[in-house]
Structure 1
Amino acid sequence: VCEALSNVALNNDCAKIIAEKGGVRLLWSLLQSSDHNV
């Protein structure tokens, strides 16, 4: 989906794409798991 999953929080466009694809749960999981994981 996105090259840098750790930067998904900074990429609003990417976040919107994931949300549109119904990956909201996955999105939050990535945000919680790879929050400060650069």
Structure 2
Amino acid sequence: MSEDPNQTADILIIGGGLSGTMLAAQLLRRPGQRRILII
């Protein structure tokens, strides 16, 4: 992933593991556009 200081995430998930990944997948399935960052 590129480190662009001007690009921000709408949702930040700390602790990516399986539960963080599943949360991101569920959020991406919802209507609308968002940027999700998993750390």
* TM over 0.5, shorter chain: no
Name which structure has the greater RCO, CA cutoff 8 Å, separation 6+. 2
Determine which structure has the larger helix proportion and give its number. Answer: 1
TM class by shorter chain equals 0.3 to 0.5
TM-score, L = length of structure 1:
0.32
Larger Rg: 2
TM-score, L = length of structure 2:
0.32
Determine which structure has the larger strand proportion and give its number. Answer: 2
